[in-house]
């Protein structure tokens, strides 16, 4: 994939289905009140540790599943994972606390908390098993972003990089595009951007060969560069705060 354009992103949205649409609009207005949600048996919690062997977001609109080793586990809506800046990709090493559904028709385990090998954690449900992505009081508004997946940057690593867009790669899964910037001295710097919906909402295209500058920092929890802001001839798009937490 050589660039991200409005058409490309719309095709990606269609391919990912309603789960991606939730990423642009947030949870539906009925999410906090009266909705039938999966009930899980918190007394049967277990921990699954291992490498992610699959990320499946195609089977349903609300609850993507990851497979850790040989065990499939339902997680949370894509918009929630991305709002928490918590990516999951094949090859990641995770520890997942999960519990089974109380419904005989649902054979999946449901994730309660996910922990990376780096120690970064993301809580998905509260102590009673209630999903944390539900809006309180039926307002339909997203909760305040208190992401434990972000904010793990090394402040001393904040720097600026300038050059041209070498490539923009966007893969299926609960993850974000990565831009490769070729600097004037020929070095290639790979930088994680942000959710594709953020680029779409701001009509911010990234095309191979165009001049670009980015304010970047090293994320200690994933050992990768992340963009705090990115600038092209079209303007500047702020992606994260200086502590690494998402600005979207």
10-residue mean pLDDT series, the chain (248 residues): 45 40 41 53 96 76 82 90 85 95 90 93 93 60 42 86 90 76 93 84 89 93 87 94 86
User: 235 forms bridges with which residues in the sheet?
Assistant: 232
Q: What is the pTM of this model?
A: 0.63
Question: Do residues 189 and 175 lie in contact, with contact meaning Cβ atoms separated by under 8 Å?
Answer: no
CATH number at 150-238:
2.40.50.1010
Residue 188: closest CA among 153, 225, 233: 225
Position 37 scores a pLDDT of: 53
Which positions ≥6 away from 186 have C-beta within 8 Å? none
Q: What is the pLDDT of residue 79?
A: 82
Q: What is the chain's percent helix, strand, coil content, to nearest 5?
A: 15, 40, 45
């Amino acid at each position: 994939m050589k660039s991200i354009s409005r058409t490309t992103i719309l095709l990606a949205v269609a391919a990912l289905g309603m789960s991606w649409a939730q990423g642009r609009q947030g949870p539906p207005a009925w999410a906090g009140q009266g909705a039938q949600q999966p009930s899980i048996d918190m007394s049967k919690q277990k921990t699954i540790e291992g490498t992610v062997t699959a990320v499946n977001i195609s089977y349903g609109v609300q609850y993507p599943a990851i497979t850790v080793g040989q065990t499939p586990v339902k997680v949370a809506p894509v918009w929630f994972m991305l709002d928490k800046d918590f990516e999951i990709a094949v090859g990641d090493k995770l520890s997942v606390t999960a519990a089974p559904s109380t419904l005989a028709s649902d054979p999946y385990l449901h994730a309660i908390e996910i922990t990376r090998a780096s120690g970064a954690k993301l809580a998905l449900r509260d102590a009673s098993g209630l999903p944390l992505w539900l809006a309180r009081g039926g307002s339909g508004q997203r909760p305040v972003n208190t992401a434990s997946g972000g904010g793990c940057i090394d402040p001393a690593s904040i720097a600026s990089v300038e050059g041209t867009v070498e490539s923009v790669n966007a893969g299926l899964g609960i993850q974000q595009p990565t831009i490769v910037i070729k600097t004037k001295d020929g070095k290639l710097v790979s930088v994680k951007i942000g959710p594709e919906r953020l680029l779409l909402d701001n009509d911010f295209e990234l095309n191979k060969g165009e001049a670009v500058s980015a304010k970047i920092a090293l994320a200690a929890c994933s050992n990768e560069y992340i963009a705090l802001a990115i600038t092209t001839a079209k303007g500047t798009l702020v992606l994260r705060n200086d502590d690494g937490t998402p600005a979207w």
